[in-house]
Amino acid sequence: MLHENLPILITGGNGNIARLLAKRLLKDGHKITCFDISDPTPESTVDGVDYLKGDICDQPLIEKILKAASPKIVFHLASLLSGSSEADRKRAFQVNAQSTFNLLELALANGNPRIVFPGTGASYGSDIPPDVPEDQPQWPENIYGVTKIFNERLGAYYTMTHGMDFRCLRPPLVLSPYAPPAALTA
């Protein structure tokens, strides 16, 4: 359990995971700032959460937000999902990989908050056993999985070389009451 009243930033703050996470963290007494490229809808808005709009690739804006919010934890959920990533690989790299590098660099210069990052089962590819061990080789079959592996390795590098507290969770599938199941999402 986290100490109460921690300032927490959630990138990709209008997404399905972010909405559920923000509700839970707010209930636990934390100050939540959600950042997303789109405006929150009335359905996605959580009372008591601050919402900021902007592009995760806008490095000066991210630095400004980190300075203003002074988060102790950043849940870095912003990304293009599988289908969108395949449709525009260049943008997928910018959003899913370059923005993570930028965020980690800016985090080091702005209080070095803990970074929590969602990996993906897509990083394994399709030839996997029913029970996937932690050391299962990762051979992604799409750019989404490739960028997620890049970020996992980048986080490990920042942990080893800069003492960053970078944590990765690798959920195999995400279901949400807020969005219908769809192919090519995560």
Domain boundaries along the sequence of the chain? 7-169
Instruction: Read off the tokens for 9.
Output: 């930033």
Bridge partners (DSSP) listed for residue 53: 36
- The pLDDT tens digits of the residues spanning 130-180 come to 888 888 888 989 999 999 999 999 999 999 999 999 999 987 666 666 665
Helix (H, G, I), strand (E, B) or coil at 75: strand
The predicted pLDDT at position 78 comes to 95
CATH of domain 7-169: 3.40.50.720
What DSSP character marks residue 15?
A: S
Q: Which residue has the higher pLDDT, 120 or 182?
A: 120
Residue 94 is encoded by which pair of tokens? 């910018």
pLDDT at residue 16, rounded to an integer: 86
pLDDT greater at residue 11 or residue 41: 11
Locate 36 and state its tokens.
Answer: 């997303």
pLDDT tens for 87-99 read 999 999 999 999 9
pLDDT of residue 179: 63
pLDDT-derived band at 28 (thresholds 50, 70, 90) equals: very high
Cα–Cα distance between 163 and 7 in angstroms, integer?
20
Instruction: Provide the pLDDT for residue 184.
Output: 47
pTM of the model: 0.90
What are φ and ψ of residue 184, in 5° steps?
60, 40
Taking the CA atoms of the chain, what radius of gyration do you get in angstroms? 16
Distance in angstroms (rounded) separating the CA atoms of residues 28 and 1: 9
